[in-house]
Amino acid sequence: MAIIGGTAQTYQLKGLREDLTDMIWSVAPSEVPFCTAVGRTTAKAVSHEWQTDTLRAPGANAQIEGDDITAFDAVTPTVRLSNYTQILRNTLIVSGTADEVDKAGRKTELAYQLVKKGKEIRLDVEYMCVGTNTAKAAGATGTARTSASVLSWLKTNTDEGATGADPAAADGTGTRTPGTLRAVAETQLKTVLQSIFNASNEPAELMLVGAKQKQAMSTFTGNATRYVDAAPERLYASVDRYVHDFGSFVIKPDRVVRATDALLINPDLWKLAWLRPIFIDELAKTGDAEKRMILGEVTLEARNEAGSGGIFDLS
């Protein structure tokens, strides 16, 4: 093949317009399964408080006919719990020129970045709840307050590896002690499910796990027989709902949950208590730029951890 001399080619031409599609593609995950499931309530102070209670263990109760009462049963007081609100923030600054020039995929840079920053804050709230092993802290001048995460509350219904330990108390003041890693097993899950049944009349309805543990749970014995849908030629090889002796729950992958954890959650017993729901604040203009702050203040309300549970120290 040969090219006739003098042929104009794109390699030599000047002033060619760029071919930039008018779309911006992002595949970054933004789902927040825990925050979506648990709902919200209102906090009125930086130390948000609530109460829990339980019944005594059942036992023999047979009384003499006509008996006169001379001694009364002890009254068990409620338990008062609390958690501190945590301030979460994102900021941005966009020059006037950057907002005005013609751009592909968005009309204004400010609006586009605000949407991104808002999604990041939502992910940070999810991480605050289920992605970290953090105790509550009151904070001080120069030190931020922190909200205790789910891991800091779970104590009644847990299964951990050797040397692993629950927090000293189910009150958000302690953290979990990591133990020897081991593979997830259905026996671990059944142990926790039985414990939840014995401790609560409201069984967990949701399990949150990372990608690796989700795949591992799809190999449990209950899924040993795989079903094929002949029409679309699909092989169903995953476990999305686990039915057990005391009920059932949905298994959802959560990219924020630690790879070593499997959390069994009763959404009715956890709430996000917002002191200041997420808002956008326009900061003072000091030059040729627009400044914005996205901020929220929230804490995790653990209404009664005995209705939830967890399997920890998973390899």
Torsion over CA: 73, 51, 154, 210 (sign): positive
Q: Which pLDDT value is given to residue 20? A: 62
Q: Which pLDDT value is given to residue 202? A: 81
Q: Which pLDDT value is given to residue 228? A: 54
C-alpha 293: how far from chain center: 23
For 68-81, give one letter per residue: b (16+ CB within 10 A) or e.
Answer: eeeeeeeeeeeeeb
Report H helices in the chain: 33-38, 96-100, 109-130, 186-199, 211-217
Q: Show the beta-strand stretches assigned E in the chain.
A: 40-42, 47-52, 79-84, 86-95, 158-159, 206-209, 227-229, 234-236, 241-244, 247-253, 262-265, 270-282, 289-302, 309-311
Q: Please answer whether residues 308 and 288 qualify as being in contact, where contact means their C-beta atoms are separated by less than 8 angstroms.
A: no
pLDDT tens digits, the chain, 315 residues: what are they?
A: 678 777 776 677 777 676 666 666 666 667 899 999 998 999 999 999 999 998 888 899 999 999 999 999 989 999 999 999 999 999 999 999 988 888 888 888 888 888 899 999 999 999 999 999 999 999 999 999 999 999 999 999 999 999 999 999 999 999 999 999 999 999 999 999 999 999 988 888 999 999 999 888 888 866 554 555 556 666 555 678 888 889 888 999 999 999 999 999 999 999 999 999 999 999 999 999 999 999 999 999 999 999 999 999 999
Q: Which pLDDT value is given to residue 256? A: 94
| Among 313, 208, 294, 293, residue whose Cα is nearest residue 251 | 208
Q: How many CB atoms lie within 10 A of CB 39?
A: 11
Q: Tell me the backbone φ, ψ of residue 123, rounded to 5 degrees.
A: -65, -35
**Which residues are CB-neighbours of 198 under 8 A, at least 6 positions away?**
none
Q: Rounded CA gap, 248 and 151, in Å? A: 22
Q: How many CB atoms lie within 10 A of CB 48?
A: 24
Q: Which pLDDT value is given to residue 26? A: 60
